[in-house]
Amino acid sequence: MKVVYTPAHLLHDPHSEIHTSGTHSPFEHIGRAETIKETLAADGSFSFTAPTEWGTEPIAAVHDPGLLRFLGTAWAEYQLYMPATREVVPDVFFRNPLRNKMSELGEPESINGRLGWWCFETTTPLTEGTYTAARGAVDTALTTTQIVLDGDRWAYGLCRPPGHHAATSLYGGYCFFNNAAIAAHHVASTTGTKVTVLDVDYHHGNGTQEIFYDRDDVQYVSLHGDPARAYPFTIGYADETGTGRGLGSNLNLPLPERTDDDGFVAALERACAAIAAFGPSTLVVSLGLDTFITDPICDLAVTTAGFERCGALVAQLGLPTVVLQEGGYDVDHLGENVRRWLVGLRGSAG
């Protein structure tokens, strides 16, 4: 199986995040991708390749071009406002009720106002190299996708930063550009065929859902901690099924606390039945391993053996499959959990 990796992710190196009312060392850090890379390299049966450059067009096809422009310049602009700030985080968020009964507001002028316009929460600092790293993650996703479009049965993109919380016009949740959505749109728009994004990260992929919510050519199916208790709290409920032409193309399967291997696999079987009924040409998997039993910020109980079962179940769909890295924060086990999921997917096919 081919693995796409770029060291560009090392340029996104936050030293802190604002989480649960305090400043902490970040859960999303460079060690995550490095341990995955090292574990897959040590296995010996994965072949590594570097991404090619895709430019900004595929990003602007999914995201608001204003978000793209903002992320390209925001860190440097903030240095004019607050010099020598290593990590840039908004402290004022734009919310519609602020301007009740008033005219609609366009993008504010000041960098501080613009931060709160394009970002929706506080755990996602911009650093000097964030934009370059985020572009590298998109290039990784698209190169992985092209490998599958060119005939490989499956391929894995070691995307970092992750992507599934990034919406059309918002970044947050450790995500800047939605790698999986950009990949899925690339397949749908270049082949004219249907695509499914299967999201198995602990957290609901609010960005991916929002991007495709009114489309009937891209299905979004997600297993995740119930947003009644889990981030992102405001989206990911079972009654969100799509709108307009997209009605019926969105399936959320919220899961209870401590869901174990059997419970997770049972939900994944439901997901796979819905995918088979939709009939996509290609599957894009948002692979988060934060459903793991000892993940520090999540509350499910999937084991390493469970991840291999999940990969094997997805393989039974018989679809060309693009696997893209999302979350997973138990760094001691993350590499092995990814490896076993991929081993489950490819079976004995190599």
Q: Is 135 in the site for Zn ion (CB under 5 A)?
A: no
28 vs 308, beta carbon nearer Zn ion:
28
Residue 303: phi and psi, rounded to 5, are -105, 175
Q: Is 201 in the site for Zn ion (CB under 5 A)?
A: yes
Provide, rounded to whole angstroms, the least separation between the CB of residue 174 and Zn ion.
8
Q: Is 173 in the site for Zn ion (CB under 5 A)?
A: no
Q: Is 28 in the site for Zn ion (CB under 5 A)?
A: no
Q: Is 163 in the site for Zn ion (CB under 5 A)?
A: no
Of 320, 319, 312, 32, the closest CA to residue 158 belongs to: 32
How many residues make contact with Zn ion (CB under 5 A)? 6
Would you name the residues annotated as active-site residues? 165
Provide, rounded to whole angstroms, the least separation between the CB of residue 161 and Zn ion.
12
| C-beta of residue 345 within 8 angstroms of C-beta of residue 311 | yes
Query: Structure tokens of 321?
Result: 């499959």
CA distance 55 to 39: 30
Q: Is 288 in the site for Zn ion (CB under 5 A)?
A: yes
Q: Is 226 in the site for Zn ion (CB under 5 A)?
A: no
| Segment lying near Zn ion (by CB under 5 A), choices 20-28, 188-196, 282-290, 315-323 | 282-290
Q: By CB under 5 A, name the one of 87, 199, 290, 295 that touches Zn ion.
A: 290
CA distance 339 to 343: 6
Residues 304-343 that bind Zn ion (CB under 5 A): 327
Task: Dump strand ranges (E) for the chain.
Answer: 2-4, 17-19, 22-24, 47-49, 154-157, 195-199, 218-225, 250-255, 282-287, 321-325
In the chain, the amino acid numbered 51 is: P
Q: Is 224 in the site for Zn ion (CB under 5 A)?
A: no
Q: What is the DSSP string of 178-189?
A: -HHHHHHHHHHH
| Segment lying near Zn ion (by CB under 5 A), choices 36-44, 109-117, 146-154, 195-203 | 195-203
The site for Zn ion (CB under 5 A) is made up of 201-203, 288, 290, 327
